[in-house]
């Protein structure tokens, strides 16, 4: 039959391959030289990342009780325990700082060493320390990817002489850079975990009142934004539909761009699960808020349908953190493998 001489054009094969899980691609590099080379090209890596982040949708990266990592597929059906990153430290010493476009930033609890991890390819790289001697200062660390400059960045803020100092590590240069903000950050203190959108990362900060510190990932500029009304310390910073959002119990405010820093209330739902014991919001996953309820399990609250659904039971002890995660072939060690072209 004619099928024996039927060849698919290269572009169609490319379209199929970018829809495969990384695990399969790593196996299929043994198919032929062309495929082995293709999976290392910046074009394929970029296209793969684009497809997995904009079409397939994020999985949920979970960390339990300091020692167990797991991944919940974007279809919410497949849950897989994940091998802990090999950083020469017991897994309970690892904190997840953030996850962005296929890479995860890790920090070791004692000593504060930083690592970048690609859970799909299992590649782990130590992030060299800055030459700054104030490394051990109390600090807040943020991590994200800027699509504008096509670079992953780690932002480290620490206190020095009553002001916040900022230094940035860029994966494309492989080095740290100290940033200068004059008096802008004098008397400012940072609080809690950061939230990241494609454009910026954000922290709660205090300067006479609660404000939000925004760090632009492309321009590396810092802005202090008024946090708006109804803000108290139980509010969490989140990203929702690539916008900064504030989540307080069962209320969510989403920052609208048009109001230049004001928060328009988008969603307000109360008394839904407040009767459950110790319920904590973890993150927003697609259009759902992840709540943990100890010791029952994880719940999903759908922001479109306003319905609450049970997700997974409590099997592994205390859940420490939950992050949106997309698969990628991005290589941390080989510089510029994803920045060129």
Partner 1 sequence: MSSSVEAITVLSSDGDEFKITVSAAKLSKPLNWMLEDVCFSDDCDEVPTIEVNSKTLVKVIEYCEKHAPRANSGASDSDAEELKKWDIEFMKMDVKDILFHILMAANYLHMEGLYDLACQTAADLMKGMTVSQIRKIFHIKNDFSSEEQEQLRRQHPGCSFD
Distance set, CA 87 to CA 25, 26, 38 (Å): 24, 22, 29
**Contact code string over 36-75 relative to partner 1, x by CB under 8 A:** x---------------------------------------
Residue 120: CB minimum distance to partner 1, A = 14
Q: Count H helices, E strands: the chain? A: 4, 24
Q: Which of residues 293-332 bind partner 1 (CB under 8 A)?
A: none
Residue 212: CB minimum distance to partner 1, A = 35
Q: Where are the beta strands (DSSP E) in 128-216?
A: 139-146, 151-160, 163-170, 175-179, 189-196, 200-207, 209-216
| Residue in the structure block whose two tokens are 């740290």 | 176
Cα 3 to the center of its chain, rounded Å: 45
CB 191 within 8 A of CB 233: yes
Strands 279-285 and 288-293: antiparallel
CB 177 within 8 A of CB 183: no
C-beta closer to partner 1: residue 5 or 271: 5
C-beta closer to partner 1: residue 75 or 257: 75
Cα 250 to the center of its chain, rounded Å: 22
Residue 301: CB minimum distance to partner 1, A = 18
Cα distance between residue 96 and residue 106, in whole Å = 5
C-beta closer to partner 1: residue 5 or 232: 5
Query: Helix, strand or coil for residue 143?
Result: strand
Residue 110 touching partner 1 (CB under 8 A): no
Cα distance between residue 311 and residue 2, in whole Å = 49
C-beta closer to partner 1: residue 18 or 236: 18
Strands 163-170 and 151-160: antiparallel
Residue 26: CB minimum distance to partner 1, A = 7
Residue 139: CB minimum distance to partner 1, A = 36
| Residue in the structure block whose two tokens are 């000593």 | 111
Tokens read off for 134: 């104030």
Residue 104: CB minimum distance to partner 1, A = 21
**Contact code string over 1-40 relative to partner 1, x by CB under 8 A:** --x-xxxxx-xxx-xxx-xxx--x-xxxxxxxxxxx----
Residue 174: CB minimum distance to partner 1, A = 22
Tokens read off for 147: 């699509």
CB 328 within 8 A of CB 103: yes
Residue 297: CB minimum distance to partner 1, A = 26
For partner 1 (CB under 8 A), the number of binding residues is 27
C-beta closer to partner 1: residue 17 or 124: 17
C-beta closer to partner 1: residue 33 or 77: 33
C-beta closer to partner 1: residue 31 or 276: 31
Which parts of this chain interact with partner 1 (CB under 8 A)?
Answer: 3, 5-9, 11-13, 15-17, 19-21, 24, 26-36
């Amino acid at each position: 039959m004619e099928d024996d001489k039927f060849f698919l054009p290269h572009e169609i094969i490319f379209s199929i391959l970018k829809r495969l899980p990384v695990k399969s691609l790593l196996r299929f590099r043994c198919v032929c030289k062309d495929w082995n080379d293709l999976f290392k090209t910046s074009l394929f890596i970029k296209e793969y990342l684009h497809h997995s982040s904009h079409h397939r949708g994020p999985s949920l990266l979970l960390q339990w009780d300091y020692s167990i990592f797991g991944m919940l597929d974007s279809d919410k059906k497949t849950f897989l325990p994940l091998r802990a990153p090999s950083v020469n430290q017991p897994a309970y010493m690892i904190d997840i700082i953030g996850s962005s476009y296929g890479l995860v930033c890790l920090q070791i609890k004692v000593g504060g060493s930083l690592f970048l991890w690609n859970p799909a390819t299992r590649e782990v790289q130590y992030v060299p320390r800055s030459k700054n001697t104030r490394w051990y200062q109390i600090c807040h660390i943020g991590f994200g990817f800027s699509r504008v400059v096509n670079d992953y960045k780690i932002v480290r803020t620490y206190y020095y002489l009553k002001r916040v100092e900022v230094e940035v590590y860029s994966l494309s240069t492989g080095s740290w850079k100290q940033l200068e903000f004059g008096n802008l950050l004098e008397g400012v203190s940072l609080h809690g975990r950061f939230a990241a959108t494609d454009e910026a990362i954000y922290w709660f900060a205090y300067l006479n009142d609660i404000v939000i510190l925004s760090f632009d990932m492309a321009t590396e500029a810092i802005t202090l934004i008024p946090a708006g009304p109804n803000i108290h310390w139980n509010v969490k910073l989140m990203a929702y539909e690539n916008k900064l959002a504030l989540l307080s119990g069962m209320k969510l405010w989403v920052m609208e761009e048009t109001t230049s820093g004001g928060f328009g209330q988008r969603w307000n739902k109360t008394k839904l699960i407040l009767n459950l014991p110790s319920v904590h919001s973890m993150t927003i996953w697609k259009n759902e808020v992840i709540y943990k309820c100890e010791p029952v399990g994880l719940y999903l609250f759908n922001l479109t349908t306003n319905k609450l659904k049970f997700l997974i039971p409590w099997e592994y002890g205390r859940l420490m953190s939950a992050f949106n995660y997309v698969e990628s072939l991005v290589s941390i060690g080989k510089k510029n493998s994803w920045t060129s072209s």
